[in-house]
Amino acid sequence: MRVEETCQAVKHLLPNDYVVVLRPDLPNLLRGPDLMIGGAGRLFAIFRLQSAEQRTPDRLLARLALSRLALPQHTVCVLLWDSQGADRDTMTVLTSHFHATIPDDSPGVLSDQVLESSVDGRAQAVPLELQGRQYHRAAALMTLSETWLREAFPAWLTPEPISAPERTAPYDGVALQVRDLPRELFDAIDPSALEGYEPVVARSWFRGTRTIFPTLLERDDAIVTAASGPSLSARLARCGERLLLRTTALDNGVPYPQATTLNVLLVDEVPRSRFDPLKAIRATCFAGWSLIGPPQLARLDQTLQELRALPTGGHA
């Protein structure tokens, strides 16, 4: 059963004082739950394996982890599994991280679960200090990233009419290509400014992505570019998920930090939305990235030191 059909079925089964929302637009998430249900002081986040997640279940776990950090602590996370073709090994990996797992062809079971608010899964509550740390760091990264991006993309400051379609603000300067970047850019980095930080492995995280500065694999940070592929928001979401998987360990649904890293994401355009212009940037910062444009790349050493100087250390 498709999640749209589940949504309609559950709406008819639940009392009128419950709210059921398909693909909710959440302020700090580019990819959140497929369905949310709230009522009587209860909140449920419903997840279903999407096509890409069926091939790579870690993507679902990353989506779950970011959602659990962003949503209220009492949120119950439920996995809808494919009753026709669920892979047993995949389900074994996923089940322990959810409060409940329900066949996708059983909306009645889901509605009963919501009304009874009883869960038998192994998922634990996310400690408030983890959520607070995530929000505090995201706010610091957002402040710095917004300053950097406004410098790199002046057109981003141009007011948009509310009816304008979603679009991006491109970089107006001369685009920096990998082959154009001087080696001196790396050599200017002061190693002492990065002391105590573990490396993030720079790699191509989606088709067509170029990895900037492979020499930085030997340094304590990584620069990755999100300059090609599908929509920019989709690429940013993928970057956030991969970073979370790299820097945390999921234990019974709780994402515990495992690495201290500086994370700098180079973009050559800024997404702009009609109704929430800063959402893509805010959500990417919530996942742990700081965003920079070509001007900040050209003064990389200073950029990294500004990042390190944040109250949170600017790290994951």
In the prediction, which pLDDT does 63 show?
Answer: 95
Amino acid at 305: Q
The confidence score (pLDDT) of residue 105 equals 87
Cα–Cα separations (whole angstroms), residue 115 to 15, 34, 68, 99, 109: 9, 19, 21, 15, 10
pLDDT tens sequence across 236-282: 888 888 888 888 999 999 999 887 777 888 777 777 777 788 898 99
Q: Minimal CA–CA distance to 154: which of 251, 38, 294, 249?
A: 294
Instruction: Tell me how far apart the alpha carbons of residues 65 and 148 are, in angstroms, rounded to a whole number.
Output: 28
Separation of alpha carbons 130 and 18, rounded Å: 29
Q: pLDDT tens track of the chain, all 316 residues?
A: 889 999 999 999 999 999 999 999 999 999 999 999 999 889 999 999 887 787 888 999 999 999 999 999 999 999 998 767 667 777 778 888 999 988 888 889 989 988 887 666 778 999 999 999 999 999 999 999 999 988 888 876 555 544 444 445 544 444 444 344 445 555 555 555 555 544 332 322 333 333 333 333 333 345 555 544 567 788 788 888 888 888 899 999 999 988 777 788 877 777 777 778 889 899 999 999 888 877 887 787 788 788 888 876 555 5
**Closest to 109 (Cα-Cα) out of 122, 99, 100:** 100
Domain with CATH 3.40.1350.10 in the chain: 3-116
> How far separated are the first and last CA of the chain, in Å rounded?
38
Spatial separation of the C-alpha atoms in residues 292 and 297, rounded to whole Å? 7
Widest distance between CA atoms in the chain: 65
What is the distance of C-alpha 212 from the center of its chain? 21
The pLDDT tens digits of the residues spanning 199-248 come to 332 322 333 333 333 333 333 345 555 544 567 788 788 888 888 888 89
Single pTM value for the model: 0.82
Note the pLDDT of residue 236: 83
Residue 240 is predicted with a pLDDT of 87
Distance CA 227, CA 196 (A): 30
Give the whole-angstrom CA distance, residue 294 versus residue 171: 8
Token pair belonging to 296: 């900040």
Is residue 106 helix, strand or coil? Answer: coil
Pick the CATH number of 3-116 from 3.40.1440.10, 3.30.43.10, 3.40.50.2300, 3.40.1350.10: 3.40.1350.10
